[in-house]
Amino acid sequence: MQRNRDWWSATLWTRAKRTSATWAGVASAICWMAAALYSPRAEATDRPFTYTYGSDVLFAGLFELEPWTTVRAGRDNFFVQLDHRLEFEFGLSRRLQTAWYLNFSAVNQDVVNQDGSIQRASEFHWTGISWEWKYKLFDSLADPIGVGLYFEPAYGPTEASLEFKLIFDKRIGDFYAAFNAVAEQEWNFEHPGPAQRELGIEFDLGLTYFIVPQLAAGIEVRNHNEFPAGSGWEHSALFLGPVISYLPGKWWATLSVLPQLPALKKNESGSTFILDAHERINARLIFGVHL
């Protein structure tokens, strides 16, 4: 009788352990799948800034569609330009992503004729295609600092360029910061003769705070420097303004509005603002849709 009781006790204990292990395995699997499906990092490239890039890349096999619109307004004469980009982004591995851009531009501006009269002119034109490559060296959460490398060649009817970015970023709690050092070599062949070369050096900084997981607000700073071939350092324009991003899950949207501040280095005109190559205000809106 005692042997039967011991046998039943051992049997029940074994079944209990097996059942417990089974449910633990099921629970672990469910938690892992939920994290993969609903974690904000599963999509990887929600952007809290529009000019400053983060080091994150899309997971392998994921697609994202991103329409951009940049408004540039205010020069010496009336000037409004809308730059449109349609980006198709694709994750290649856990560290590498690529993207294609279709670029368009619409301009409405006052043009000074040879007789000194001013005429309002508008045009819409195709500005070319771009091919982005981004590689993540270190992660902004798992590592002490996130680091990424970025390369983008572009070609259009009147110009070509090669752009390089060195990306640093860090997420600490609800705070996120990113910094980019950018170099862009441009060739302009709009006019007959040898192409005009120009080097652009830019520094971008973004600081934001996640008020809730789906909403972040902060500031963005942009410093652009131009070095035309044979002319040295021409000017250093500075922009600073607010940025807000909404990241509900399957899509996201980010808006930056950056007024121009007094120049760090004035151009030959000696003006406080750089209004021949830049505008009084830049605003950029980017939508992202995870496909």
Instruction: Please report, for the domain that includes residue 278, its CATH number.
Output: 2.40.160.40
- For 51-66, the pLDDT digits (tens) are 999 999 999 999 999 9
Residues 121 and 29 in one domain: no
Residue 80 — pLDDT band, cuts 50, 70, 90?
very high
Q: Is residue 250 pLDDT above 60, yes or no?
A: yes
45: pLDDT strictly greater than 90: no
Reply yes or no on whether the pLDDT at 20 is more than 50.
no
Q: Note whether 24 and 45 are same-domain residues.
A: no
Answer for the pair 283, 255: CB distance below 8 angstroms, yes or no. Answer: yes
Q: Are residues 10 and 74 in the same domain?
A: no
Give the domain extent around 23.
Answer: 1-38
The larger pLDDT score, comparing residue 287 to residue 249, is at 287
Are residue 166 and residue 55 in the same domain, yes or no?
Answer: yes
Does 6 share its domain with 64?
Answer: no
Mean pLDDT on 205-228:
97
* 144 lies in the same domain as 26: no
Residue 262 scores a pLDDT above 50: yes
DSSP line for 174-234: TEEEEEEEEEEEEEE-SSSSSPEEEEEEEEEEEEEEEEETTEEEEEEEEEEEEEETTT---
Q: Model confidence over 138-172: pLDDT tens digits?
A: 999 999 999 999 999 999 999 999 999 999 999 99
Which of 20-34, 203-217, 249-263, 274-288 is predicted least confidently? 20-34
Together in a domain, 80 and 10: no
Structural domain count, the chain: 2
- In this structure, the answer to whether residues 10 and 119 fall within a common structural domain is no
- 192 or 134: which leads in pLDDT: 134
Q: Specify whether 60 is located in the same domain as 2.
A: no
Whether residues 9 and 75 share a domain: the answer is no
pLDDT value of residue 85: 98
Close Cβ partners of 10 (under 8 Å, ≥ 6 residues apart): none
Are 214 and 142 found together in one domain? yes
Query: Rounded mean pLDDT of the chain?
Result: 87
Lowest-pLDDT choice from 21-30, 95-104, 134-143, 270-279: 21-30
Q: Are residues 144 and 131 in the same domain?
A: yes
pLDDT at position 31: 34
Q: Among 91-100, 209-218, 269-278, name the one with the lowest average pLDDT.
A: 269-278
Percent of the chain predicted with pLDDT > 70:
85
- In this prediction, residues 275-286 reach a mean pLDDT of 95
Q: Report the candidate in 131, 130, 228, 230 with the shortest Cα–Cα distance to residue 188.
A: 228
Q: Is the pLDDT of residue 34 over 60?
A: no
